[in-house]
Chains A and B, each alone.
Chain A
Amino acid sequence: METRLTDFGIAGKIIRLQHFTNTQAIIEEEIARGATAIVIVGNDKTFGHVLSRAASSSILFGFLPVGQDNSIASVLGIPVGVESCDVLSRRRKVDLDVGWFNNRYFVSQLHIPLADITIQYDEKFSVSSKNGGLELVVCNLQPFVWKERGGKEYVVHPQDGKLEAFLRPLLHKRLFSHKFEEPSIFPFEEMIVTGTKPFVVSADGKESKETKITIRLAKNRIRMVVGKTRQF
């Protein structure tokens, strides 16, 4: 991959990330030193780790997906492996909307597994489940497809200036399995999720426990090099 990048005349400083590396501080430092683009090399976890903090930096981002768990790459139209260098060299730039929650950004999706939560949308209406528990998925880049029983499919495409929230209320609680209802869909610009107990929040594969989160859409926050086959 490095040889291919050199062929395209792309070269620069390589920084290896650790678990507790503050990516925003590193990127700000490199911008001050004259960096014009940041290329993330890794999988979804690396992508989320860098952009969860660094999305506020005003610099061009590129992504070279390597290894397993690369679902975001296909959304961005970037092939996994050496071919991604070709996409990077073409420099097709797009401003991406990203989700924001509790001072962190998420690019692809945010997931809250089954929890006793109440959701307030745009300070106008609140949504709760009659049976108690709810599972929540907020989509930003990835299109969401909900298959109905009759074989009909509802496709919700992001990038319309709103985030899409998919709620799956719990229907029956069993010993080894839970039965969920078909998802409810709500487009929104801001939502507040509150829980009586701390609940797990997984944003771009990174997990944390929260009792209250505010999710918002940050429009055109990231300028990124994407492929022709992107899904938005």
Chain B
Amino acid sequence: MFQKPSSDIALSQRSSDGTPDDVETVVGPSVHVQGDFASEGNILVKGSVSGNVKTSRLLTVEEGASIMANVKAGEALVSGQIHGNVTASTTVELTASARIVGDIKCANLVVEAGALIYGKVAMVGLKDLVGEKSEKKRTSRRKKTRTSLPSEAHDDVSSEEDNMGDV
């Protein structure tokens, strides 16, 4: 009848199969984390985080959770809100309840209908293509500038030759 808050939190419980789970850091729903938050393992955010979040593995942001800074992860599964840039080395998956105000940079992007993004999306797969295009643009710009200013260029060369002759 007079139930006291239990002192042992499932310490006596054991796993049924004895296999370790991947979840290493869990931020509960009514927990607020302030400051830069980094972990080597998986991170599961159910509460709010005001500060940069960094992990080399999976970051899961559950529905109702919020992160108010930049996020860097190996893989990200977002169902909550992120106010900041999201960078993932592999996949960013956004579910219908995801809200992202910031840029996304990743290799693969999965977006479910209903997810909202306000920012730029850059994917690593097109980096080479973008690189080639920009290279072509640069070369064409150089050509244009050369054709528009042929006499000046010639004058420069001749002036250099004159100087060499003086020496």
Contact = CB atoms under 8 A, between A and B. Distances in A.
B156 interface: no
Contacts of A128: 31-32, 34
A141 to B, nearest CB: 11
B148 interface: no
Contacts of A114: 5
Interface string B1-38: 11111011111111110111101111111111111111
B13 A145 contact: yes
Contact of A135 (B2, B5, B30): B5
Interface in A182-201: 182-187
B16 to A, nearest CB: 7
A144 B25 CA distance: 13
B13 A147 contact: yes
A167 interface: yes
B23 A185 contact: yes
Interface in B45-91: 47, 51
Given A125-B34, A125-B35, A177-B5, A186 B14 contact: no
21 contacts: A71-B12, A109-B11, A111-B7, A111-B8, A124-B38, A125-B37, A135-B9, A142-B11, A143-B15, A145-B15, A146-B26, A153-B13, A153-B16, A155-B18, A155-B21, A167-B31, A177-B3, A184-B26, A185-B23, A187-B25, A187-B41
Given A124-B36, A185-B24, A187-B39, 4 more contacts: A144-B9, A176-B3, A183-B28, A187-B41
